[in-house]
Amino acid sequence: MYKKICTLIIASLMILTVAICGCTESTGGNTETNEEITTITIVDAAGRTVEVPQNPGKIIALSCALREVVYLQSQEKVVGIEYREASKEIDGTFPSGLELPYLAAYPELMDLPVVNSGNSVNFEEIAILNPDVIFVGTSGAANADNIQTKSGIPVVVVYVATVGTDTQNEKYYETLRIMGEVLGKEERSEELISIINEYENDLAMRTENIPEDGKHTVYVAGRPYCGVHGLDGTDPHWPSFELINANNVASEVSDVSEGITINKEQIIEWDPEYIFVSEASINLINEDLNDPAYQGLNAFKNGNIYGVPPYCWYSFNKGTGIANAYFVGKTIYPEQFSDINVSKKADEIYEKFLGKPVYSVMESQFGGYTKLDLN
């Protein structure tokens, strides 16, 4: 009797074990089992130590971090996006998803659930989507801790702001490596860094022998930050100028690439030979170009004002910044860039960053690489 009871107990435990492990009928020799989740510990861009699942299946990217997720070929993991990225309305003041290169490449992302509204995170929606990791672009530690505490999901702060100086570039490369480690895309992160370095080296090599007295003075206008700007919105270290060693008249205003406002009198005093305009701000630029004071600029009188797709537009489109450098180079130094077809070069760059050529979309949305009609 005792042996029979023991036998029944053992049999019952075996059945229970099979049920708990989730084993089902075998098909093709494959058995499905639950595996323990592998985690890694990283130090993010805010200096926070975070334990995250390695190679997560579902992710969300806040504060403009989705672009880098796409650069790292992980867009299939994304389960929710930000409201600006989902927007299909173009108002000429703030970004729309239709105007962003990474969403032009993968428009299906625009149909995913929206997980924020302005600076407010929708924690209920995030709970429903249940991502494994949340990336937050260029955020403070306190904000990231708040999101992590309220959501119960690991939050990784990443640097997705502008590049341009050596310090900014290194911070960006470190972020690509951190994201690559989390996403299981280490090889792609190193490949992307190599791609950026190859373009940087090519651009530098083309312009390195131009003497200082042979460098034209240049100015970027309409550089967006917190919305669009007119001719007074510029960047002292606009990456597209930095990459070709151009003589940016605003370079002494600041030591970093950033959006700043310059007064009209200063622009007139600088009197740059060439002006390159962020086409995101074209409406305000056109208004300013009707001002007689600006019409006295040599760039205006000589017809040397050009439009470029926005580098800064819902954070920073690194591929666009490199493509813009080739256009600027071909415009002010045609001999050094005589072999470059700018539209083809832009598509080559977009393909390497995004996996798809999207210059035609940027051209249709903004106007593309063009000389502005000043009549």
Dihedral angle sign, alpha carbons of residues 162, 163, 168, 170: positive
* pLDDT over 50 (residue 348): yes
> What are residue 234's phi and psi, to 5 degrees?
-140, -175
pLDDT tens string 88-141: 888 878 899 999 999 999 999 999 999 998 779 999 999 999 999 999 998 889
Structure confidence at residue 117 (pLDDT): 81
Q: Please answer whether residues 160 and 65 qualify as being in contact, where contact means their C-beta atoms are separated by less than 8 angstroms.
A: yes
* pLDDT over 90 (residue 334): yes
Measured in residues, the chain has a length of: 375
Cβ neighbours of 356 (radius 10 Å)? 15
Per DSSP, the three-state class of 371 is: strand
What is the biggest distance separating any 2 CA atoms in the chain, rounded to whole angstroms? 108
Structure confidence at residue 35 (pLDDT): 56
Structure confidence at residue 11 (pLDDT): 40
Structure confidence at residue 164 (pLDDT): 80
Segment 255-274 shows an average pLDDT of 96
Question: Cα Rg for the chain, rounded, in angstroms?
Answer: 25
Structure confidence at residue 250 (pLDDT): 98
Q: Is the pTM of this model over 0.95?
A: no
In three-state form (DSSP H/G/I as H, E/B as E, the rest C), the secondary structure along 182-244 is HHCCHHHHHHHHHHHHHHHHHHHHHHCCCCHHHCCEEEEECCCCCCCCCCCEECCCCHHHHCC
- Angle between helices 318-332 and 186-207 in degrees, nearest 10: 10
| Residue type at position 293 | A
pLDDT, mean over the chain: 90
Segment 255-269 shows an average pLDDT of 96
Per-range mean pLDDT, top range of 29-38, 115-124, 272-281: 272-281
Q: Please answer whether residues 151 and 123 qualify as being in contact, where contact means their C-beta atoms are separated by less than 8 angstroms.
A: yes
* Residue 48 burial by Cβ neighbours in a 10 Å radius (0-12, 13-18, 19+): middle
Give me the torsion for CA of 311, 317, 321, 326, rounded to 10°: -110
Q: Per-residue confidence at 15, pLDDT binned at 50, 70, 90? A: very low
* pLDDT over 50 (residue 182): yes
Q: Please answer whether residues 164 and 242 qualify as being in contact, where contact means their C-beta atoms are separated by less than 8 angstroms.
A: yes
Segment 183-194 shows an average pLDDT of 98
List, in order of start, the domains of the chain with CATH numbers: 39-196 (3.40.50.1980), 212-371 (3.40.50.1980)
96-120 burial, b for 16+ CB within 10 Å, e for fewer? bbbbbbbbbbbeebbebebbbeeee
